[in-house]
Amino acid sequence: MIRLDGLTVARPGLPRPLLDGITLTVPEGCLYGLVGPGAAGKSVLLRALVGLMPAARGRVYLGDDEVTGKPDARLGEVRARVGMLFQNNALFDHMTVLDNVAFPLRRLARVPDEEARARAEERLARVALPGFGPRMPSGLSGGQKKRVGVARATITRAPYLLYDEPAAGLDPVTSQKIFRLLQEEQRATGATVIMVSSDLDRLLSVTDRVGMLHRGRLVFDGSTAEAQAADEPLVRQFIRGEAEGPLA
Residue 124 lies in a domain: no
The domain of 238 spans: 1-70+196-248
DSSP for 45-110, please give it. HHHHHTTSS--SEEEEEETTEE-TT--HHHHHHHHTTEEEE-TT----TTS-HHHHHHHHHHHTS-
Mean pLDDT is lowest, of 118-122, 148-152, 170-174, 243-247, for 243-247
Name the pLDDT band for 10 (thresholds 50, 70, 90): very high
Q: What is the pLDDT of residue 114?
A: 93
Name the pLDDT band for 244 (thresholds 50, 70, 90): low
- State how far the alpha carbon of 28 is from the alpha carbons of 32, 140, 145, 217, in Å: 10, 34, 29, 23
For residue range 129-188, list pLDDT tens digits in order.
Answer: 999 999 999 999 988 998 999 999 999 999 999 999 988 888 888 888 889 989 998 999
Residue 209 lies in a domain: yes
Q: Which residues contact 33 (CB under 8 A, 6 or more apart)?
A: 195, 196, 197, 203, 204, 206, 207, 209, 210, 211, 224
For residue range 184-196, list pLDDT tens digits in order.
Answer: 989 999 999 999 9
Residue 45 lies in a domain: yes
Residue 120 lies in a domain: no
Given a cut of 60, is residue 248 above it in pLDDT?
no
Residue 202 lies in a domain: yes
Phi, psi of 186 (to 5 degrees): -65, -45
User: Residue 10's domain is classified under what CATH number?
Assistant: 3.40.50.300
Given a cut of 80, is residue 108 above it in pLDDT?
no
Residue 41 lies in a domain: yes
Residue 66 lies in a domain: yes
Name the pLDDT band for 204 (thresholds 50, 70, 90): very high
Contact 6, 57 (CB under 8 A): yes
The domain total for the chain is: 1
